[in-house]
Structure 1
Amino acid sequence: MATEMCKLPCAVLLFLLVAKLGWTWALIPSSSSVGLAVRRYDSIFSFGDSFADTGNNPVVFAANSIFNPVTRPPYGSTFFGRPTGRNSDGRLIIDFIAQRLGLPLVPPSLAHNGNFRRGANFAVGGSTALDAAFFHDGSGPGSKFPLNTSLGVQLQWFESLKPSLCRNTQECEAFFSRSLFLVGEFGVNDYHFSLPTKSLHEITSFVPDVIGTISMAIERLIKHGATSFVVPGTAPSGCMPQIISHYGKDDPAEYNSTTGCLEGINKLGMHHNLLLQEALEKLRGRHPDAMIVYADFFAPIMDMVESPRKYGFEEDVLSICCGGPGTLFCGDEGAQVCQKPAARLSWDGVHLTEAAYRYIADGWLGSIDSSAGEKMHQLVR
């Protein structure tokens, strides 16, 4: 019998193994060179901030639209032709991932009237990993931001939705094992909200708390039956035009001489990403059956900043496409809009253009390809 099995083509062996395990896989085209088999997911569940928010923001900020320019043109103009609540001119990374995996765009959980059997997006612009109370000292009225849409709150929304998706433990584990979970990006708002009142040294001291919160969220989702995760690191916010404008220093040594980015803030992001990767490696050790992919947000953006022509971007890569002059935000009356968003990296000074998100999504999909293929090889061995 063993001899007969060895004569079978490897593809047949993989098919038999997959069928036995009850998994479904499909070959998904990818721009990466990996070219491995990628698991076909039935749904996507997403947690995060404005980098992933597909329309929850307008609901959360409904009482005061002045703080929510994404409800006004020219947001969404490149792909959707109208504002959708996305912080970009078009699609986000999560949109490209859904389309590449053959799934519908992930609906915002707070703004969707249909069912969520194909997935739900709990991300809200301005969300933090740490609970909102961490950022308010209670000494006065202070700022109302961040709102209470932290990672913990988003997990509660997910758990409230769960009974409409599955009825018992066995059914839920089967359902969520066929789902892809995106946990992040988280961290950038935790740090940005702290910049006005804390030094970089003070902010660095609570990075482990942010990482610990992300780790605990993944553990919590695993208990619900989730087995496939994409966990993005944080972006190089020292290269964000609005951050440079607000927190730029007179000392030239504060800037990278090649890119013009703020070195200290980018080092904070690199520290976050290092600790996150270490935490994810520990999670893989505790949960060997789970696929936990680290999605690099930092390196691809830095590559675009350092080599804009390679991506078809204009040389002045730190300039924004929409916004200004002065304190005008994109979407405000009188705000300027560039003619070719596809030639820009930054859309509104904090968020990226659809073109930039597409390049990043290609890299993340390659990572999913690679991790799924490696998981299959482990099973075959």
Structure 2
Amino acid sequence: MGMGADPFLPRRPLRQALRLHLQLRRLLRRNRQQPRRLRRQLRLQPCHAPTLRLHLLRPPHRPQLRRPPHHRLHRYGVPPHSPLPSANSPDLWRDRLEVLNSTGPLAAQRLGLPLVPPSLAHNGSFRQGANFAVGGATALDAAFFHDGSDPGNKFPLNTSLGVQLQWFEALKPSLCRTTQECEAFFGRSLFFVGEFGVNDYHFSFPTKSLQEITAFVPEVIRAISMAIERLIKHGATSFVVPGTIPSGCTPHILSSFAKDDPAEYNSTTGCLEDYNKLGMHHNLLLQEALEKLRGRHPDAMIVYADLFGPIIDMVESPRKYGFEDVLTNCCGGPGALICGDQGAHVCEKPAARLFWDVAHLTEAAYRYIADGWLGSIDSPATARESRYQLVR
């Protein structure tokens, strides 16, 4: 993809930033030496689960996360498999639930933190954390997506980031009572916020042009920023905020918005350029917004986690990851048949695929990303040579 004067692309060169990886690697090693008694985590997320999730960290972890010299996480390494979390979605086939095994839970596992229960679980214990993720959740409230020409045409979901924050605030009294107690509790916690935005855009593709969707990207970023501000007011100090994925590489976009003109596709990846530029635009604005938040809240640790670059690398170099197919889905079928529909089929080797269904990665792909966020310091030479260095 050329840089030029394209408004979607970053206008300044990126600088390497790997010290945070070293801090997290040390955190992981210390965690293995500590007793198994853990603190908590909270997670806000949709599925393509944008999420709010809280992890309460052990005392040795706090200073390492509170003062990172850089604010980016990137992917390196080849990880093993792991159990699968469910969040606030129905229990599906447990051995086929790659869609819900996203980077947040996997990264938490690497830090020795438990998989946290869905926030809406009956009789659940949330002293170790809570997961507010819901399939299809958006950053913007449902009212934004209502069709104004038909008052009866309601957006079918009411699980936006704002709604998840309400769930968090409803849960808060069971976790702490006084302002001092809540600040202490959430100050020891790690919040995963995202990735948000992908559903806002995907739901809009059938009815809006890319130009119209690009125009409301700042509103999505504003919603994410306001959510972080709101959590900070509750006492939260440590955040991981993932960017969005390259939508132009997803099977859903490639099949639903196929183009006749070969120039619409990237010659190296086979992905639709303009849809990926939308994601790059989102990620650039998000990183700028997070930098402003750091300026307003110097005592908070706010880390941007890259999803876009690692996925592009997997598409460009599938053999490096053991993938045999990176642009079609493992679960589903031809045409409009999606995973879970009658007649849908599942591929024989999910671990050899990048995409589980039309929009979500396989567990193997999420594992590569999560392991890389925490493990890049194991191979500093490879990190220096990577095209997708994390930047400050």
Paired AA for residue 106 in structure 1: V
Could you tell me how far apart the structure 2 residues matched to 1:51 and 1:335 are? 19
Instruction: Report what 2:263 is aligned to.
Output: 253
TM-score (norm: length of structure 1): 0.78
Partner residue, 1:352: 361
Aligned AA (1:48):
Q
Q: What corresponds to 1:26 in structure 2?
A: none
The answer on 1:267 being equivalent to 2:277 is yes
Check the 8 A contact 1:127/1:146 in 2, yes or no: no
The letter of the residue matching 1:361 is: A
Asked if 1:37 is matched to 2:46, the reply is no
One-letter amino acid of the counterpart of residue 50, structure 1: C
Q: What secondary structure, in the 3-state scheme, does the structure 2 residue paired with 1:231 have?
A: strand
The alignment yields a C-alpha RMSD, in angstroms, of 2.5
Q: Residue type of the partner of 1:238?
A: G
Which residue does 2:348 correspond to in 1? 339
Equivalent runs, 1:304-343 vs 2, <5 Å: 304-314=314-324, 316-343=325-352
- 1:234 matches 2:252: no
SS of equivalent residue, structure 1 residue 37? helix
String of CA shifts for 1:67-115, please: whole Å, max 9, x gaps. Answer: xxxx544xx315xxxx5xx735xx3222212211212112111235222
In structure 2, relative to structure 1, the CA distance for the partners of 1:116 and 1:367 (3 Å cut) is: farther
**In structure 2, what is the equivalent of residue 222 of structure 1?**
232
Taking a change above 3 Å as real, the CA distance of residues 184 and 146 of structure 1, as seen in their structure-2 partners, is farther
Pair 35,351 (structure 1): closer, same or farther in 2 beyond 3 Å: closer
Q: Could you tell me which residue of structure 2 aligns to residue 49 of structure 1? A: 46
Specify the SS of the correspondent of 1:38: helix
Q: State how far apart, in whole Å, the 2-side matches of 1:33 and 1:176 are.
A: 24
Residue identity over aligned pairs, in percent, reads 75
- What TM-score results when the alignment is normalised by the length of structure 2? 0.76
Work out whether residues 182 and 229 of structure 1, in 8 Å CA contact, stay in contact via their aligned partners in 2. yes
The equivalent residue for 2:371 is: 362
Preserved contact between residue 45 and residue 119 of structure 1 (Cα < 8 Å):
yes
Structure 2's unaligned 5+ residue stretches are 1-20, 32-37, 52-84, 379-392
Assess, with a 3 A threshold, how the Cα gap between structure 1 residues 221 and 294 changes in structure 2: closer, same or farther.
Answer: same
Counterparts in 2 of 1:163-178, with a 5 A limit? 163-178=173-188
Report SS of the residue matched to 1:318. Answer: strand
Label 1:94 to 1:114 Cα distance change in 2 as closer, same or farther (>3 A). same
Kindly tell me the number of residue pairs found equivalent between the two proteins. Answer: 318
* Residue identity matched to 2:132: F
2: CA distance between counterparts of 1:173 and 1:58?
30
**Offset, 1:146:** 4.7
Specify the alignment match of 2:216 in structure 1. 206
Mean Cα deviation higher: 32-41 or 216-225: 32-41
Q: Secondary structure at the match of 1:345?
A: strand
Q: Is the 8 A contact 1:46 1:182 kept in 2?
A: yes
Whichever residue aligns with residue 47 of structure 2, its letter is: S
Mean CA deviation greater in 217-226 or 102-111? 102-111
Contact 1:34–1:366, Cα closer than 8 Å, also in 2: no
Q: Secondary structure at the match of 1:153?
A: helix
Which range moves more in the overlay, 331-340 or 360-369?
A: 360-369
Q: Is the 8 A contact 1:55 1:111 kept in 2?
A: no
Indicate if the aligned counterparts of 1:38 and 1:368 stay in contact, CA closer than 8 A. no
> Is the CA contact 2:99–2:363 (under 8 Å) kept in the aligned structure 1?
no
What is the CA distance between 1:140 and its match in structure 2?
2.0
User: Structure 1's 48 and 58: CA in aligned 2 closer, same or farther, altered over 3 A?
Assistant: closer
State the Cα distance separating 1:34 from its structure 2 match. Answer: 6.5
Between 1 and 2, higher relative CO (CA 8 Å, sep ≥ 6) is seen in 2
Say yes or no: does 1:87 pair with 2:105.
Answer: no
Cα distance in 1 for residues equivalent to 2:252 and 2:278: 17
Pick from 131, 150, 155 the counterpart of residue 121 of structure 1.
131
8 Å contact 1:232–1:294 — kept in the other structure?
yes
CA–CA distance in 1 between the matches of 2:182 and 2:360?
35
- Larger Rg computed on CA atoms: 1
